[in-house]
Amino acid sequence: MSTQNVRNSYHPLSIGVHWLTLVLLIAVYALIELRGLYPKGSDPREAMKAWHFMLGLTVFGLVFLRLAAIRIFGAPAIEPPPSKWSRLLAAAMHGALYAFLIVMPLLGWLALSADGKPVPFFGLQLPALIAPDKALAHNLEEIHETIGTVGYFLIGLHALAALYHHYFLRDNTLRRMLTSRR
């Protein structure tokens, strides 16, 4: 049952998962960027890579929880209602963000599998998705890195759009994700 008509904000689960995903994405990007401070093969560098993998896979799981929460609890209406082109642009942006949040961890998992490396997940080792293939691993890593760069822009545009809606259009787009008042 959707509570879309009685809420002026997203369900608390949706809000929590949204902001937790942001915190995890910041950590995932920071870990992979800062690993270069340490020499290849060093313990700190390997730990940062392992945490990058584990937190990325956590984001992968959270995206499905978030999609389920939106499906179950619905999304509150934007007031005042946006134009049709604005709704289409927002739908495209959200589609790109969700694709990013699903594809990136999968590419990382595939790249580790193809490289013949273990896939750590908080004390567990996840199964390889494909057989080892060094050339494929290299290609998957390149694609992962390229899409990771695109991710900076997607996340930045998402944040700028929220701020634009809040400060210039003065609608409730951002406020819907900040509170859970009825």
**Residue ranges of the domains in the chain?**
12-177
Question: 12-177: what fold?
Answer: Fumarate Reductase Cytochrome B subunit (1.20.950)
pTM of the model: 0.91
Q: How far apart are the first and last CA of the chain?
A: 16
Q: Which two tokens stand for residue 125?
A: 């080792």
Structural element, H or E, at residue 124: strand 124-126
In sequence order, the 6+-apart residues with CB closer than 8 A to the CB of 136 are: 114, 130
Per-block average pLDDT, block size 10, for the chain (182 residues)? 62 96 98 96 96 98 97 95 95 97 98 96 97 98 98 97 96 89 52
Q: Which residues pair with 119 in a beta bridge?
A: 126
Amino acid at 108: G
